Amino acid sequence: MEIKFNNVSYTYNPNSPIKKKALSNIDLAIKEKQINGIIGRSGSGKTTLVELLNALLIPTSGNIKVDEFIIQKDKKIVNVNNLRVNIGLVFQFPEEQFFNLKVKDEIKFGMKYFDIKADEIDNRCIEALNMVGLDDSYLNRDTFKLSSGEMRKVAIASVLAFNPKVVILDEPTIGLDSSSKKNLINLIRLLKVKYDKTIIVITHDVDLLHQISDYIFVLDNGKLVLEGDKYQVFTSEELLNYGLIPPKIIEFEKLVLENKNIKIGYRDDINDLIKDIYRYAK
């Protein structure tokens, strides 16, 4: 699914004394069937960017191309649901936005806005739960008695049920314990590898993006200031200029090089890094 931002700017309350420019002249292309990270400090424009992507907001200037859809000012999208069915957005703390007591009703809730046949809905609920690692026994569980990790999975299943090509996750691991966070990271990888989803992760967590992302966009004060694969971005000396500290594993690799004069390749997992260091130390 092609997604391109073409010179996109967005201003909140443009005709008032409290107007605020959130994005300025953004040009970027989301990498299809990859895990795309969007990172930046608070107020950098991350959430605004993805709300533009599924037409919750409309650009003040410029346009966004999403396959055959063009999102721009003064150009109406004839059926916006045909766009949104392909772009699933999981908000920050999604479990705080649950509406239904039963898991099955929560998953069904979003599907009513799209042209999904009634006889498909139950099967889609089960398939979506299975995709996130939950079995169909969860259908009749009380939504609000699930663990925080299970709630987060149900929120993602609610989006996967209408089979979007793109899944957007806003701070997906925030508020989760280490075990739930690890499970969710594995799920995000699975959505890419097994189900061919294009993933967009919005976060300020550099360590999370180092673990899972293929390509990263850095925003600062509403501008795209840096992009590249995760190793290009996280080893860039510019990173500190934008209020971002390199991931711990990158810092550790630099420390090993400086103090032991051991140059090792970059690793996503700390355990792989430790194994490399052990080999050199033998």
Integer Cα distance of 177 and 148 in angstroms: 8
What are the extents of the domains in the chain?
A: 3-236, 247-282
The label of the residue with tokens 């996750």 reads 169
Q: What single string gives the DSSP state of each residue in 95-129?
A: GGG---SBHHHHHHHHHTTS---HHHHHHHHHHHH
Identify the pLDDT of residue 92.
Answer: 84
Spans in the chain with pLDDT lower than 50 = none
Integer Cα distance of 197 and 29 in angstroms: 16
What single DSSP character describes residue 114? S
Q: Which amino acid, one-letter code, is at 193?
A: V
Contact 90, 155 (CB under 8 A): yes
Integer Cα distance of 126 and 135 in angstroms: 7
Which of 143, 40, 47 minimizes the C-alpha distance to 92?
A: 47
Superfamily of domain 3-236: P-loop containing nucleotide triphosphate hydrolases (3.40.50.300)
Identify the pLDDT of residue 200.
Answer: 97
Identify the pLDDT of residue 253.
Answer: 73
What single DSSP character describes residue 246? P
Integer Cα distance of 200 and 54 in angstroms: 12
Contact 85, 136 (CB under 8 A): no
Q: What are phi and psi of 141, to 5 degrees?
A: -75, 155
Rounded to the nearest 5 degrees, what angle is found at the Cα of 198, between the Cα atoms of 193 and 203? 105
Those residues whose C-beta lies under 8 Å from the C-beta of residue 249, and which sit 6 or more positions away, are 207, 210, 267, 268, 270, 273
